[in-house]
Amino acid sequence: MSAVTVISGAPRVGDRREVLDQTTEVRLKRLQAEAKGRDAQGIVALAITAFPKRAALVSSFGSESAVLLHMAAEIDPNTPVLFLNTGKLFGETLRYRDRLQELLGLGDLRAVAPHPADRAQFDPEGTLWSKDPDACCAFRKVVPLRRMLEGFDASITGRKRFQTQARAEMQAVEFFEGRFRFNPLAGWAQEQLDDYLAAHNLPRHPLVDDGYPSIGCMPCTRRIKDGESYRDGRWAGLEKDECGIHVGIDGEGI
């Protein structure tokens, strides 16, 4: 099995802001126009070919992650895949990551963790999630991913419009924090995801059948109850349905 590259030196908490200039705006509109005539795998191919060696797929190795990973692996199995190991994940997620890496032949899987100094400063007892989940997500997810993406001009995500209200209007191609962001599955419904997994005989995350349709960090994820929606098990009881890594240009919602 291919090795997982572990990056332990994520940045300290801090951020930079960039604006969308005219040249970038023109390119964004062109990529959006090209994406309109493509299916999901075609949008993945657009990202990989438009930004050779400079596009990375961001994956949580969650409930439907195998769909996007399979599409990318069929185009180029050496497409960089970025995985956030927050230190709070389910063991099932880590084992699922390893299984998919071997099954799909993912040749460039990179894992990043929070900076040790940030852990010592912001969460020495490992319980920040219970006091300030936004702050926990910020240093465990947002900051490490920004550092990991610095060498890339484009990212590819598995976000779908049906998942949250904040994602309902997103486009297949966006511009976010200095790079282009492709959302090939934006318009997909749960039924399409299920059909793709079945058609390609792809394994599901082991927690899906145990009542976890959306899977994040262990302390902030629970089984959904009868009648609840897809992400009601994430940050249950809080006015929060995003960790912050995929929100707007200024990071609102973190």
Give the residue with greater pLDDT, 133 vs 29: 29
Give the residue with greater pLDDT, 196 vs 243: 196
Mean pLDDT value across residues 128-156: 90
Read off the pLDDT of residues 56-96 as tens digits, 9 standing for 90 and up: 999 999 888 999 999 999 999 999 999 999 999 999 999 99
Report whether pLDDT(131) > 90. Answer: no
Report whether pLDDT(248) > 80. Answer: no
Cite the active site residues.
243
pLDDT of res. 52:
95
Mean pLDDT value across residues 182-207: 94
Read off the pLDDT of residues 204-239 as tens digits, 9 standing for 90 and up: 999 988 888 788 898 888 887 776 665 576 665 555
CATH superfamily of this structure's domain 21-220:
HUPs (3.40.50.620)
Q: What is the pTM of this model?
A: 0.82
The model's confidence at residue 166, banded by pLDDT at 50, 70 and 90, is: low
Sheet holding 109-112, edge to edge: 4-7, 109-112, 81-84, 55-58, 154-156, 179-182, 173-176
103 backbone dihedrals φ, ψ, rounded to 5°: -65, -45
DSSP 8-state assignment for residue 89 = B
pLDDT of res. 77:
97
Give the residue with greater pLDDT, 148 vs 101: 101
CA distances from 178 to 100, 149, 248 (A): 30, 10, 12
Q: Name the least confident of 32-36, 201-205, 225-229.
A: 225-229
Residue 119's nearest CA partner among 253, 12, 6 is 12
DSSP 8-state assignment for residue 146 = H
Q: Name the least confident of 59-68, 139-148, 171-180, 226-235.
A: 226-235
pLDDT of res. 237:
55
Residues 140, 182: Cα–Cα separation, whole Å: 23
Q: Under a CB-based contact definition with an 8 Å cutoff, are residues 59 and 94 in contact?
A: no
Share of the chain above pLDDT 90, in %: 54
Q: Under a CB-based contact definition with an 8 Å cutoff, are residues 251 and 243 in contact?
A: no
Q: Helices 22-36 and 40-50 sit at what angle, rounded to 10 degrees?
A: 150
CA distances from 101 to 62, 70, 106, 201, 220 (A): 13, 10, 5, 15, 26
